[in-house]
Amino acid sequence: MAIELHPNFLSQNGTKFFAVLPYEEYLAIQEILEDWEDLNDLRQAKQDEENLPILSLEEVKKELGLENHENKK
């Protein structure tokens, strides 16, 4: 996802010191960074759970004592 930026540079002693962006461009960059952080968090969570045991719905129902609950209806 590429954004076209239109910065204005503020200089001090002939050296670029600050870049000023239009507010909409700032918001777009902020949203991209938040999306990147979310993706990074998701990848980390998937990696953290990689070795956890996987239970079927029936196993979960059994552990919670719900396996015969549906038959009573």
CA–CA dist 63, 32 (Å, integer): 42
CA–CA dist 44, 28 (Å, integer): 24
Say if CB 6 and CB 19 are below 8 A apart.
Answer: no
Q: Which residue is listed with tokens 């962006």?
A: 21
Reading the block at residue 15, the tokens are: 């050296």
* Sequence-ordered alpha helix ranges (H) in 5-73: 23-48, 57-63
> Over the stretch 15-72, which tens digit does the pLDDT of each residue have?
999 999 999 999 999 999 999 999 999 999 999 988 888 899 999 999 999 976 555 5
pLDDT score recorded for residue 51: 86
